[in-house]
């Protein structure tokens, strides 16, 4: 059993595709398939069922998946600790971040981290909060910056910051003269939201439901910048986190009970963080952003 076989197996398990897994591992598909076949032969049975629609783990594969992921985590941690004994400060940390926050939080975080740990490589993955939580569970990333929509069983987390949600409207909208309004004012207004699957969409819809508002959604997108661009064009209103506030749009505060969201740094509950990941977690937990509050 070899390390690259474990990596290939976990890549197929995560992507559900031999083709995509081979691409992500920078090997040819026949080579990846041959190595997984050798692994299956050594373990005495099929780990992955091959179908035209993709690849699916067998019961044997599901059982082996967690062990393989843990083995790679421990080996990476051990390698880094040995490097530290040699006086090195090298390593890699894979950090996931949600798209409604990355452009605002990552620059100060990564700039500070690079200055403190110049020889540690940071690999970024940007996905929705639910997808980031799934990637943590699959050991595809070490840490995730996500909101409460991604928290769940098996994860540990620390708060980075909390912020209130704001209603964003075009500058010429009839509500532009207001400063604070109730969510009920959004009844019958055209709304632009993040598309299904994004954690922030769930946070917004939950807030509207609690307020008794039936949303009239006219556009959906996967990018918060696109949401605001469509609002600026006069195509609808939206609810956004305070961190994305910009000068060319009008933002209204929401009367109590004011909805909010909390951004966390999360990791697997049962995994030992590598020194590189631990350093990133510690820094992320203490990073300060303008306009944010603990």
Spans of the chain, pLDDT less than 50: 87-88, 290-294
**Could you read off the pLDDT of 27-82 as tens digits, one per residue?**
899 999 999 999 999 999 999 998 877 898 999 999 999 889 888 888 877 776 66
For the purposes of burial, counting CB atoms within 10 Å of the CB of 226, is it exposed (0-12), middle (13-18) or buried (19 or more)? middle
Residue 89: what pLDDT?
Answer: 59
Domain 1-64: give its CATH architecture.
Answer: Orthogonal Bundle (1.10)
Question: Which 8-state DSSP code applies to residue 257?
Answer: S
Residue 192: what pLDDT?
Answer: 97
For the chain, strand residue ranges (E) read 48-51, 54-57, 91-97, 120-126, 143-147, 155-169, 180-181, 190-194, 216-221, 238-241, 250-254, 260-268
Residue 84: what pLDDT?
Answer: 59
Cite the residue boundaries of each domain of the chain with CATH code 1.10.10.10.
1-64
Q: Where are the alpha helices (DSSP H) in 117-223?
A: 129-137, 199-210
Q: CA torsion sign, 250 to 254 to 259 to 263?
A: positive
Instruction: Provide the b/e sequence for 63-83 (b: ≥16 CB within 10 Å).
Output: ebbeebbeeebeebbeebeeb
Omega of the bond leading into 257 within 30 degrees of 0 (cis): yes
Q: Which pTM was predicted?
A: 0.67
Smallest Cα–Cα separation from 252: which of 139, 166, 147?
Answer: 166
Question: CATH top-level class for 162-261?
Answer: alpha beta
**How many residues would you count in the chain?**
294
Please provide the DSSP assignment of 17-30 as one string: -HHHHHHHHTS-HH
Cite the residue boundaries of each domain of the chain with CATH code 3.40.190.290.
162-261
Residue 80: what pLDDT?
Answer: 66
**Could you read off the pLDDT of 24-41 as tens digits, one per residue?**
888 899 999 999 999 999
Residue 273: what pLDDT?
Answer: 80
For the purposes of burial, counting CB atoms within 10 Å of the CB of 175, is it exposed (0-12), middle (13-18) or buried (19 or more)? middle
Residue 72: what pLDDT?
Answer: 85
Helix/strand/coil for 152: coil
């Amino acid at each position: 059993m070899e390390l690259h076989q474990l990596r290939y197996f976990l890549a197929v398990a995560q992507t559900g595709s031999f083709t995509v897994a081979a691409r992500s591992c920078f090997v040819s598909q026949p080579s990846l398939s041959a190595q997984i076949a050798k692994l299956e032969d050594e373990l005495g049975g099929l780990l992955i069922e091959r179908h035209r629609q993709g690849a699916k783990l067998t019961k044997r594969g599901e059982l082996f998946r967690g062990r393989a992921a843990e083995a790679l985590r421990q080996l990476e941690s051990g390698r880094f600790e040995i490097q530290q004994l040699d006086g090195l400060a090298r390593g890699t940390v894979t950090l996931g971040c949600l798209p409604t926050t990355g452009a605002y939080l990552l620059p100060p975080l990564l700039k500070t981290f690079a200055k403190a740990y110049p020889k540690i490589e940071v690999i970024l993955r940007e996905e929705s909060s639910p997808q980031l939580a799934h990637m943590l569970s699959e050991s595809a990333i070490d840490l995730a910056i996500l909101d409460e929509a991604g928290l769940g069983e098996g994860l540990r987390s620390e708060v980075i910051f909390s912020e209130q949600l704001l209603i964003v409207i075009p500058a010429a909208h009839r509500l532009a003269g207001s400063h604070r309004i109730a969510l009920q004012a959004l009844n019958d207004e055209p709304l632009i939201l993040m598309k299904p699957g994004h954690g922030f969409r769930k946070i917004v819809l939950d807030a509207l439901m609690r307020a008794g508002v039936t949303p009239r959604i006219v556009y959906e997108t996967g990018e918060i910048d696109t949401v605001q661009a469509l609002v600026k064009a006069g195509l609808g209103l939206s609810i956004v986190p305070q961190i994305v506030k910009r000068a060319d749009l009008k933002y209204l505060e929401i009367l109590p009970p004011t909805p909010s969201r909390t951004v966390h740094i999360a990791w697997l509950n049962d995994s030992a963080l590598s020194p590189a990941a631990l350093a990133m977690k510690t820094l992320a937990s203490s990073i300060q952003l303008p306009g944010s509050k603990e």
